[in-house]
Structure 1
Amino acid sequence: MNNFIYYPSWNVMYIVYGIFAFLLLRLIFSKTLKSYHSKWNTLIDNFEYSPKEFYSRLKTELESHGITKIKIEEVYIKEGGVMSHSRIYLRATWKDYQYDICGAKFGKGFFISWWLLYKDSIVKILISKIPFFGTWLAQKLYPITYFRIDSASMFMTYAQSSVLKVIDDITKNKGVRALTESERKPMLGDIFKR
């Protein structure tokens, strides 16, 4: 009886470990964390409208501006933890910015909100956690520049004007009062926060 046990050669084991390490590092470094830039919300009283129809009209309006490399899709976002219900949002993604829009029935009204988020890489977050000089190093390697602030502001203005146009279009002939100037303004986060 031949009791032969096969042991893989060390070369094969190094390849397997190398592939595993590569996949693990890719998973870690491909993740992004999001920082809040601005938000906005309103409730249109005594107005019922389909969220799906709102998203359809908004997607058409967002696409009509000719912005290149923008991705617009409906996404399901959890209300809480893993076992919670999901809500459907319309997400517009452009460069390092994510614009999530909610349209939902609420009581006798229709609620609309949006959030504009920056996407920061996990590498930047990890560098910023290095004791003593990590924050300084992250600021030098990933500075908040005029270009980044202007890009976010352009995207926010473009998306906000699209949301307001759709709101104006769907409420115009229904006897619903128009939004005031103060109700139309977004709320900016601390865009210089480090």
Structure 2
Amino acid sequence: MSKPVTHSHSYQHFEDLQLSAKDFYAALEARIASYQFPDVECRVVERHEDSILSSKRQYLQIEHHYLSYLVCAAPFGRSFFISWYLEQSEDGFTLALRKIPILRWLVPSEKTYYQIDSELMFKNSIENIVKAAVHKLMVEHGYRQPDIELAE
């Protein structure tokens, strides 16, 4: 499997606040499940902070085919942050087929309109849901609300 390509990254810092990452992940996962998006799966994954010998950090991974959001909720000293990354990956089988000239035609080179629309819906929907979850935390804990519009 090739290394995923990161397309976007956002975060929110909460000064002098301690929260449970597991509770945040559970609430976010429940909110996503309530929308009944097709082919969207959530699970908690662990990634090393640095090298393979370093500590691991938990992320909520939200997948739709070759796209995934990785959401990290964690303490940082006396503060807390939530960050999210949009990544794109390709499986090794698809990459191998593209490298073999006689089999290259098996892998479409362009996305269909359906694929483009599904990708856009996934990106925008999950981004809005994560932002709404962050906004909810801000309101619950008395932080100044950002000047952004959120989809309900």
TM-score (normalizing by structure 2): 0.78
Corresponding residue number in structure 1 for 2:127: 160
Aligned 1:119-130 pairs, distance under 5 A: 119-126=89-96
Q: Which runs of 5+ in 2 are unaligned?
A: none
2:137 counterpart letter in structure 1: I
Moved more, 145-154 or 101-110: 145-154
Aligned: 1:172 with 2:139: yes
In the TM superposition, what whole-angstrom CA distance separates every residue of 1:105-145 from its partner, at most 9, and x where no partner exists? 11332211111122213355456668xxx8xx79x843356
Deviation of 1:77 after TM superposition, in Å, equals 0.7
Q: Distance in 2 between matches of 1:141 and 1:77?
A: 31
Contact 1:35 1:120 in 2 (8 A): no
In the TM superposition, what whole-angstrom CA distance separates every residue of 1:157-178 from its partner, at most 9, and x where no partner exists? 1111111222222231322111
Corresponding residue number in structure 2 for 1:39: 9
Corresponding residue number in structure 2 for 1:107: 77
Corresponding residue number in structure 2 for 1:12: none
Moved more, 36-45 or 83-92: 36-45
Task: Tell me: CA distance 1:85–1:73, structure 2 relative to 1, closer, same or farther (3 Å).
Answer: same
Q: Distance in 2 between matches of 1:44 and 1:146?
A: 40
The one of 49, 58, 61 aligned to 1:79: 49
Corresponding residue number in structure 1 for 2:26: 56
Percent of residue pairs bearing the same amino acid type? 25
In the TM superposition, what whole-angstrom CA distance separates every residue of 1:32-71 from its partner, at most 9, and x where no partner exists? 5422232221212233211111111111111111112321
User: How large is the Cα RMSD of the aligned pairs?
Assistant: 2.7
Task: Tell me: CA distance 1:173–1:36, structure 2 relative to 1, closer, same or farther (3 Å).
Answer: closer
Find the residue that maps to 1:143 and give its secondary structure: coil
Contact 2:63 2:69 in 1 (8 A): yes
Task: Tell me: CA distance 1:148–1:44, structure 2 relative to 1, closer, same or farther (3 Å).
Answer: farther
Q: Which runs of 5+ in 1 are unaligned?
A: 1-30, 185-194
Q: Distance in 2 between matches of 1:179 and 1:107?
A: 23
2:144 counterpart letter in structure 1: R
Q: Distance in 2 between matches of 1:141 and 1:65?
A: 30
Q: Who wins on radius of gyration, i.e. which is larger?
A: 1
Contact 2:12 2:134 in 1 (8 A): no
In the TM superposition, what whole-angstrom CA distance separates every residue of 1:74-96 from its partner, at most 9, and x where no partner exists? 11111122111100000111222
